Amino acid sequence: MMDVKSIRKDFPILSTKMNGKPLVYLDNAATSQKPASVIERISEYYRTYNANIHRGIYKIAEEATEEYIKSKNNVAKFINAAGMEEIIYTKNTTESINLVALSWGSANIKKGDHILITEMEHHSNLVPWQLLAKRNGAILDYVKLDKSRNHLDIGSLEEQLEKDPKIVAVTQVSNVLGTINDVKSISKKAHKHGAKVLVDGAQSAPHMPIDVKSIDCDFFAFSSHKMLGPTGIGVLYAKREILEGMSPIIGGGDMISTVDYYSCTWNELPWKFEAGTSNIADAIGFGAAIDYLNKIGMENIHSYEQGITKYALQELSNIKNVKIFGPSYDEIKRRSGVISFGIGNVHAHDIAQVFDSEGIAIRAGHHCAMPLVTNELGQSAVARMSFYIYNTKSEFETVLNAIRKVKKIFMVD
C-alpha cells in the first residue's frame, strides 16, 4: 500500500500555507503538484547539460538528446505503446486532439461524413471537431448522457454508430462527473463500424494504468501537468501505421529528411510531427514524473484514490443540502477522484471563495465542459474537488468544516 505521509514530503508546496492555513490542494483535475524529483530533474538539465537536441555532436548535446529520448521511451512503456515512434510530444491534450483533427481529420473527413463525440466532453475534445465539421462540411453527432446514472447511454452510442461515423472521440474519465467510460468496449463497437477511435486520457492517464494496446484505440491524448510533470508538454499516441499516413501540420526544422527549394521529405517517426526546437526541459521533467508514478505503481494509485473518493462521497451524502454530480459511492469502480458538488443554492464561486479562506483550493465554474454543465446538469457553475496521491482523509475533514462554514454564512439548512 502507499505511504502517503512520506509521499507528501516529496512535494515542497504541500508544506506551505494559503491564507494563513495549511494548503489543502484539491484542484488536481486542473493541474497536479510537482515532486522535488521533477523540479530537480528540470533544474539539473538547465544547470548541467543545457543544449539543443538532434543537432550538436558535442557531449552535452548528446546527453540532452539521450535524456529526451529516454523520456519518450518512458512514456511509450507507461501506456504500453509499441515504441517511442508512436509518441508525439505536443504542448498538452488540447494540442494533441487538434493535431488529429487538423491532420488526420482534414485528410479523411469529407462532406456529409459523421463525427461522433459525447455529451460529456471537455471543450478540447469538442471544439476541434466542431471546427473540422464546419471546414469539411461534416456532421457532428453526440452520444447522449444517461442522466439518471451519469454514464454514457450505450443505446444512444449504438444508435449513432449505425451512421458509420469516421471517428469516435470520447473521454476516458469525465472532468466534471468523474465517470469512467469503458473505452475498450466503445472502441470495439466503433471499430466494427469502421470508425477510428480517439480517447481523451487527460483525466485517466494520471490516475490509473493505461494500456493502449488493450483499449485498441487509434489515438490517445494526455498532458504531463496533470500527472506530476511540468506544464507545456503533452502526448499524442497514435498507431504507427496511422501516423505514417498522416501529414505534419507544422513545418520547419527537425521534421524533415531532405529539403530543396520546392519540396521536402519528412523525417521518420515521431520527429515528423515535432517541428522546431522541442520543449526539452519539460520532456525530461515529464520523464521524471513517470519514474515517480511508476515507483508507487498505477494500480496502487488508482485503488488509493478510489478509497478516499468513496469515503468522501459517503460523508458528503450524509450532509443535508449537499448535491453531488456524478455516480454515487456504490458505483466506485466506475468513478474517479473528481467530485463536483453544490451546497443549497449557493453559487459555486462563493463556495470556492469560502474554501479558499480555509486554505482549500478547489475549482468552480463550467470546467470547460459547458454543454454538459449547462444543458445536462442545468447549472451555470459547479464546485469541484479532485484528489491525487498526496490527499488524505484528514484533509477531507477540513472540507467538511468548510462546508459547515458555507452553510452558516449563506444560511443553508
Q: Which residues are catalytic?
A: 368
Angstrom distance (rounded) from CA 183 to CA 408: 42
Other CB atoms within a 10 A radius of the CB of residue 282 amount to: 24
Cross-strand pairs, 117 = 142
> Do residues 77 and 231 lie in contact, with contact meaning Cβ atoms separated by under 8 Å?
no
Residues that bind ligand C6P (CB under 6 A): 29-30, 92-94, 122, 124-125, 171, 175, 200, 202-203, 223, 234, 363, 367-368
User: What angle do the packed helices 298-317 and 393-409 form, to 10 degrees?
Assistant: 30
Angstrom distance (rounded) from CA 2 to CA 229: 20
User: Which of 300, 232, 241 has its CA nearest to residue 94?
Assistant: 232
CA distances for 35 relative to 38, 71, 186, 301, angstroms: 6, 17, 35, 15
Helix segments in 181-252, DSSP class H: 183-192, 212-215, 240-245
Those residues whose C-beta lies under 8 Å from the C-beta of residue 128, and which sit 6 or more positions away, are 97, 98, 100, 101, 102, 105
Q: How far is the CB of 341 from ligand C6P (least distance, A)?
A: 15
> Which of 97, 243 has the CB closer to ligand C6P?
97
Q: How far is the CB of 178 from ligand C6P (least distance, A)?
A: 11
Q: How far is the CB of 194 from ligand C6P (least distance, A)?
A: 25
CA distances for 329 relative to 106, 165, 335, angstroms: 42, 34, 8
Cα within 13 Å of Cα(111), Cβ side: 0
> Do residues 38 and 45 lie in contact, with contact meaning Cβ atoms separated by under 8 Å?
no
> Do residues 239 and 216 lie in contact, with contact meaning Cβ atoms separated by under 8 Å?
no
Angstrom distance (rounded) from CA 289 to CA 75: 10
> Which of 201, 287 has the CB closer to ligand C6P?
201
> Which of 53, 364 has the CB closer to ligand C6P?
364
> Which of 179, 267 has the CB closer to ligand C6P?
179
Q: How far is the CB of 30 from ligand C6P (least distance, A)?
A: 4
The helix/strand/coil state of 89 is strand
Q: How far is the CB of 391 from ligand C6P (least distance, A)?
A: 16
Q: How far is the CB of 364 from ligand C6P (least distance, A)?
A: 11
> Which of 72, 122 has the CB closer to ligand C6P?
122
> Which of 71, 171 has the CB closer to ligand C6P?
171
